[in-house]
Amino acid sequence: MPATAFVSTTIPYVNARPHLGHAFEYVQADSIARHLGMVGRDVYFLTGSDENSLKNVLAAEKAGVTTQALVDRNVSYFEDLLASLGVVTTSFIRTSVDPHHLDGAAEIWRRLDANGDIYAKDYTGLYCVGCEQFYEPSDLVDGKCPEHLVEPEPVSERNYFFRLSRYADQLAEVLESGRLRVHPQTRLNETLSFIRSGLADISISRSATRAHGWGIPVPGDPDQVMYVWIDALTNYVNTFDWLHDDPGYARYWAGAERRIHVLGKGVLRFHAVYWPAMLLAAGLPLPTDVMVHGYITNAGQKLSKSLGNATDPQELLAGYGQDAVRYYLLAEFSPFGDGDFAEERLVARYNNDLANGVGNLVSRLTSMVERYRGAVVPARTGAGDLEADLAARTAQTVRDSVAAMDRFDHREALARIGELVRRSNAYVGERAPWQLAKAADAGDEEAARTLDAVLYCGLDAVRHIAILLRPFIPEGSRRLLAAVGEDSRGSVDSLTELAGRPVVKAGPIFPRIER
């Protein structure tokens, strides 16, 4: 039985439609899940919707509908985006209605309480509704929330608190030992610095009155609801019915080789400090990896529904297609840093790398196999040094791109694949099979054997490239593999003999985008 892995995105608020930042995280996590599956892991891939926030309540009031009606409607926009992006998940969890989540969140609260980690006290603080988070004055920039650029509201009420301070030493140990790995190193350093500066206990409930009666009630106190983050973080285990010995929980969380959270830098503290502390207190296994991406920006400013500068990913998908959008996001943007969105770069990336690159390569090769060898791949009989070099480069690209994805570096993986595409195109130009064909027609048997080798080795490189592209552009990869008669479910380790296969001349697998 293969080793298992768990991969999750964060679950977004559904107070409005998704923006390009959501699309970025979705395809990042999808590429990681697909990569792990491609190298032999049995993967559970989770996403969902964070529905118990005050943001959703206020948006519903503004729209003149119930909060449940608002989240029921808006969650469909996120599900539609996943489908348009070709993101295939194992489960989609909804925190306002999923019974496993409602029961699991309450049980984790009870475990923390039984452990002596919850107490009540009066509290006054500065609260940003956009972040659903209290801020210290020192955290603000010119008196404003650094994420949403608005002044937080002063709030005074009686809340329950979690004794986070009790877990400072344990958190530092799991991070320093590598039991919980934070990627990249700069985010690990940031997390450790935050812990070493001294952890304060955190508020984990809100008055039911201020929450407008929306949220998961605190066990034993219906006048309070769970703070949305404390509720939402538990979704990662609550996708399973872990209270009733769910075998999925035993296999994909407790027994998983890797438990990977993909998230933005703005919620690092919640996932690398608060959530592990909650798991330690509840006696549940920790994640193994927290992969922290940056923001997609517009003129240097984070894309945000609140800031009104969000780009609608569905419009991009409708205009350019799934391959173009996925490829742009994963090839253009750093997995860990910020990057500015530019539509012209999307078009350039697609045209240069896909249409003119791998698309042109497979079109040339399949056309020549059809013309010179009756649409059947010839044997690799006349291979020489150039063929050996291309094979070696192909094998190295497989190793390099797999290693990059093991580090969650989709941009590096695609850069290495792109180098192989360029080398393969250059190889075809150097070997000039059209000239070899003329010489073969004139009776040159050595030229005929060399032509066989060129067509075979070129198509062999194509099928390796196509498989390596599967985590990033699954539909484009499928079309490439079909062009060379390869099973779209195979891996680089399961490739069989190419010679003798029928090949159909490929049309424009990646049609150029004209603007």
429 and 321 in a single domain? The answer is no
Least confidently predicted of 121-130, 190-199, 489-498, 502-511: 121-130
Catalytic residue status for 19: yes
Least confident of 31-45, 202-216, 400-414: 202-216
Is the pLDDT at 73 greater than 70, yes or no?
yes
Within a domain: 441: yes
The residue from 145, 261, 293, 410 that is catalytic is 145
Is 56 part of a structural domain of the chain?
Answer: yes
DSSP letter string over 393-421? HHHHHHHHHHHHHHTT-HHHHHHHHHHHH
d(CA 235, CA 52): 12
Q: Which residue has the higher pLDDT, 436 or 126?
A: 436
What integer pLDDT is reported at residue 146 of this predicted model? 79
* 427 touches 347 (CB < 8 A): no
What is the enclosing helix (H) or strand (E) of 48?
strand 42-49
Same domain, 360 and 299: no
Q: What is the dihedral of CA 48, 49, 52, 53, to 10 degrees?
A: 130
Q: What is the mean pLDDT of the chain?
A: 94
DSSP three-state, residue 441: helix
Give domain status of residue 515, yes or no: no
Q: Of 278, 299, 332, which residue constitutes the final position of a domain?
A: 332
Calpha distance 458→478 (Å, rounded):
18
121 three-class SS: strand
**Is 315 in the same domain as 409?**
no
Is there a single domain that holds both residue 399 and residue 300? Answer: no
Reply yes or no on whether the pLDDT at 180 is more than 60.
yes
Active-site hit among 22, 101, 271, 410 = 22
Pairing of strands 153-162, 202-203: antiparallel
Q: What totals of helices (H) and strands (E) does the chain contain, helices first? A: 20, 16
CA distance 446 to 381: 10
Mean pLDDT across 153-161: 87
**Apex 203 CA angle, 197 and 204, nearest 5:** 125
With contact defined as beta carbons under 8 Å apart, do 202 and 161 qualify? yes
The pLDDT tens digits for 453-463 are 999 999 999 99
Structural contact between residues 201 and 163, judged by C-beta atoms closer than 8 angstroms = yes
Alpha-carbon Rg for the chain in angstroms: 26
- The answer to whether residue 490 sits within a structural domain is no
Selecting among 35, 100, 101, 131, the annotated active-site residue is 131
Active site annotation includes 438: no
Closest CA to 47 of 90, 77, 14: 90
Q: Which residues contact 340 (CB under 8 A, 6 or more apart)?
A: 296, 297, 298, 299, 300
User: In the annotation, is 128 catalytic?
Assistant: yes
The Cα–Cα gap between 82 and 76 comes to 10
Length of the chain equals 515
What percent of the residues of the chain are helix, what percent strand, and what percent coil, each to the nearest 5? 50, 15, 30
Tokens in use for 499? 């010679």
* pLDDT per position as a tens digit, 340-375: 999 999 999 999 999 999 999 999 999 999 999 999
131 catalytic residue (yes or no): yes
Structure confidence at residue 148 (pLDDT): 66
- State the average pLDDT over residues 408-437: 98
User: Encoding tokens for residue 217?
Assistant: 């009630």
**Could you tell me if 168 and 59 lie in one domain?**
yes
Supply the pLDDT for residue 101.
98
**Order of strands, sheet of 301-302, starting from the edge strand that comes earlier in the sequence:** 301-302, 296-298, 339-340
322 is a domain residue: yes
Quote the CA–CA distance of 97 and 108 in Å, as a whole number.
17
Residue 144 lies in a domain: yes
55, 100, 261, 305: the active-site residue: 305
Instruction: Please tell me whether residues 46 and 145 are part of one structural domain.
Output: yes
Alpha helices in 407-491 (DSSP H): 410-431, 433-441, 445-469, 474-483
Find the catalytic residue in 35, 271, 293, 302: 302
- Residue 488 included in any domain: no
Find the helix packing angle between 168-177 and 185-196, rounded to 10°: 160
202 and 297, same domain (yes or no): yes
**Closest alpha carbon to 291 in 406, 213, 391:** 406
Interatomic CA distance for residues 401 and 464, integer angstroms = 11
Marked catalytic residue, from 128, 183, 271, 293: 128
Does 402 lie in the same domain as 362? yes
Per-residue pLDDT reduced to its tens digit, 284-295: 999 999 999 999
pLDDT at position 433 is 97
pLDDT band for 305, please (50, 70, 90 cuts).
Answer: low
**Mean pLDDT, range 253-282, rounded to an integer:** 98
Name the 3-class secondary structure at 104: helix
Distance CA 58, CA 11 (A): 19
116 occurs within a structural domain? yes
Phi and psi based region of residue 497 (left: phi greater than 0; alpha: psi -120 to 50; beta: remaining): beta
Is residue 464 among the annotated active site residues? no
317 and 457 inside one domain: no
pLDDT number for residue 308: 63
- 327 with 390, same domain: the answer is no
Q: Using pLDDT thresholds of 50, 70 and 90, give the confidence band for residue 306.
A: low
- Cβ 265 vs Cβ 12: under 8 Å: no
Q: Are residues 364 and 296 in the same domain?
A: no
Note if the pTM is more than 0.85: yes
| Domain harbouring 417, CATH code | 1.10.730.10
Residues 200 and 276 in one domain: yes
Say which residue the tokens 């830098």 belong to. 265
Percent of the chain with pLDDT over 70: 97
Range with lowest mean pLDDT among 42-46, 320-324, 484-488: 484-488
Q: How high is the pLDDT of residue 304?
A: 63
User: Which pair of tokens denotes residue 16?
Assistant: 């409005």
Q: Which is it for strands 42-49 and 91-94: parallel, antiparallel or unpaired?
A: parallel
Q: In what order do the strands lie in the sheet with 153-162?
A: 133-135, 118-128, 153-162, 202-203
Q: Where is average pLDDT lowest: 125-134, 152-161, 163-172, 233-242? A: 125-134
Q: According to the model, what pLDDT value does residue 127 have?
A: 77
Say if residues 130 and 145 touch (Cβ distance below 8 Å).
Answer: yes
pLDDT digits (tens, 9 = 90+) for 466-494: 999 999 999 999 999 999 988 777 788 88
Evaluate if residue 388 carries a pLDDT over 80.
yes
For the chain, the domain total comes to: 2
Q: How far apart are CA 185 and CA 363, in angstroms?
A: 42
Query: What's the pLDDT score for residue 381?
Result: 87
**Which residues form the domain of 404?**
352-483
Tokens read off for 62: 């503004």
Across 122-138, average pLDDT: 77
